Amino acid sequence: MKELIDKLAETQSLTKDEIVLLLDNRTALLSEYLFEKSREVREKYYGKDVYIRGLIEFTNYCKNDCFYCGIRKSNKNTCRYRLTPEEIIECCQMGYDLGFRTFVLQGGEDSEYSDMKIIELIWLIKEKYSDCALTLSVGERTYETYAAFLGAGADRYLLRHETANPTHYHRLHPPKMSCEERKKNLHNLKKLGFQTGAGFMVGSPWQTTEYIAEDLLFLKDLQPEMVGIGPFLPHHDTPFAKMEKGSLELTLFLLGMLRLLLPKVLLPATTALGSIAPDGRERGLLAGANVVMPNLSPKSVREKYLLYDDKLSTGEEAAESKDALEAKIKSIGYNIVMSRGDALR
């Protein structure tokens, strides 16, 4: 199996069969071999730098009903909130004072936050913080809307594809959502010139290694600047409440593979990875990740953006604990850098 890792490192590609073979024959020893290679590549392009993003979860209203997600429309037990532009600016100011130079506006697909309201938000933030990058993560919109977001000054856009396999996609989402539409949106974002992020959950119900291979090949084809992956974690008020959670070890292995497949990619050690194990975030960084995204939302709403049970929102996950996070990252030999941290192209 080492030959497959060597091949991946040398050619930045593998066939679908090779990916399946490698994933199905993973061992702890093989993981270590992979991580040595992935760290080497990560350090070649990014040295010991870890980029940091301030995440603002600005609304948990959502018109979608994804079976895995705690803030799905049908979850009547979610206490809904929506931050006003003024509250969002307060978050940015707190982040700016802490040294953050990227803000990520993430929310459910909230019809109240119309295209125009988002555009006004972009204007507001980019005018006040012109030295900062702004990332949007507000779901599926038309090509024209994405173009308008870009025109207003947004720099990056995150939209996980969730799974590249249409059959699998339909088992995770209600009928009106479509895998093709999702992929089309991602291609639109790329075409427009956004620094684009895609990604998927690891260990979502019915996922197979074959599906994961399709995810990796989809990503290779899309060439996103950012890829977000994290383990699936069940939420008690969803149809997937009783499903098994994803694996930490497989998530780490995939981070290593992604680093070799897309050497310059911006790869976060995600909140879900930090939530599944106390040292998940650090292990993600040691497997090839180079971004962390602490939470900048007001404390009063953090618990309400519960995508899955036991989602971290305190400790090093909180932006105000930046010093503690910095110390943890230092302890594994890496350094937080406060620049915008744009993608290398």
Within 193-247, residue ranges assigned H as helices are 209-222
Q: Which of 160, 170, 264, 304 binds ligand 5AD (CB under 6 A)?
A: 160
Residues 125, 155 contacting (CB under 8 angstroms)? no
Site for ligand 5AD in 235-254 (CB under 6 A): 235
| The two structure tokens encoding residue 101 | 């130079």
Cα–Cα distance between 291 and 1 in angstroms, integer? 28
Number of residues interacting with ligand 5AD: please give it, by CB under 6 A. Answer: 12
Give the residue with the Cβ less far from ligand 5AD, 115 or 309. Answer: 309
Site for ligand 5AD in 198-237 (CB under 6 A): 201, 230, 232-233, 235
Residues 81, 301 contacting (CB under 8 angstroms)? yes
Give the residue with the Cβ less far from ligand 5AD, 120 or 181. Answer: 181
Bridge partners of residue 336, in order along the sequence = 50
Give the residue with the Cβ less far from ligand 5AD, 307 or 336. Answer: 307
Establish if 307 lies at the interface with ligand 5AD (CB under 6 A): yes
| Pairing mode, strands 49-52 and 291-292 | parallel
Q: Which of 92, 308, 312, 317 binds ligand 5AD (CB under 6 A)?
A: 308
Residues 119, 155 contacting (CB under 8 angstroms)? no
Establish if 42 lies at the interface with ligand 5AD (CB under 6 A): no
Residues 253, 231 contacting (CB under 8 angstroms)? no
φ, ψ at 290 (rounded to 5°): -140, 20
- In angstroms, what is the minimal distance from the CB of 191 to ligand 5AD? 21
Q: Which of 68, 129, 146, 253 binds ligand 5AD (CB under 6 A)?
A: 68
- Return the DSSP state at 336: E
Establish if 304 lies at the interface with ligand 5AD (CB under 6 A): no
Residues 179, 127 contacting (CB under 8 angstroms)? no
Residue window 263-282: x/- pattern of binding to ligand 5AD, with contact defined by CB under 6 A: ---------x----------
| The two structure tokens encoding residue 169 | 């996609």
Residues that bind ligand 5AD (CB under 6 A): 68-69, 160, 162, 201, 230, 232-233, 235, 272, 307-308
